[in-house]
Amino acid sequence: MKRLFFVLLLSVMATSLMWADGFAQATFSNRSHDFGVIKEDKGPVSHTFEFTNTGDKPLIIVEATASCGCTRPEYTTKPIKPGKKGKIKVTYSPLGRPGAFRKTVKVKTNGKEARTTLIIEGTVTPAKSK
């Protein structure tokens, strides 16, 4: 029991020191993008979400995961210095998906706000049959 208490105490102290030392923070200019109406047969569409590290420690994107296989996020794995900008490019493939869509990308960072959700949406018009 004493050992567990000691481990918990060390964890609390380490966390306190980490926050006292500063933090990283991804501040996005926009967290959603509407593609409007896109054509199924024109292929994938992309949007780049920009953010700034408004903290005072380097920001690391740990992972970015899409809500389905039709959406692909791309991001840098290099730390973003305080005051610098970063980007997450999100590509949506409309092939075989006519109609309205709304997809999310969950972004996990080492920042103070560790999780952010980005949204893309729009409407796909079907390809013309031959």
Looking at residue 55, what is its pLDDT?
96
- Terminus-to-terminus CA distance in the chain, angstroms? 74
pLDDT confidence band for 127 (50 / 70 / 90): confident
* CATH code (residue 88): 2.60.40.10
- Domain-located, residue 1: no
Looking at residue 67, what is its pLDDT?
94
Q: Alpha-carbon distance 9 to 12, whole Å?
A: 5
> C-alpha distances in angstroms, 32 versus 51, 118, 122?
12, 6, 11
> What's the structural domain count of the chain?
1
- Domain-located, residue 88: yes
Q: Alpha-carbon distance 41 to 44, whole Å?
A: 9
Per the structure, the complete domain to which residue 31 belongs is given by: 23-125
pLDDT tens digits along 80-90: 999 999 999 99
- Please compute the mean of the pLDDT values over residues 104-119 and round it to a whole number: 96
- Domain-located, residue 103: yes
- Please compute the mean of the pLDDT values over residues 88-98 and round it to a whole number: 97
Looking at residue 128, what is its pLDDT?
81
CA nearest to 29, candidates 79, 73, 82, 88: 88
Rg (CA), the chain: 20
Q: Is the pLDDT of residue 100 over 50?
A: yes
CA nearest to 48, candidates 86, 88, 102, 104: 88
Looking at residue 1, what is its pLDDT?
58
- Domain-located, residue 13: no
- Domain-located, residue 115: yes
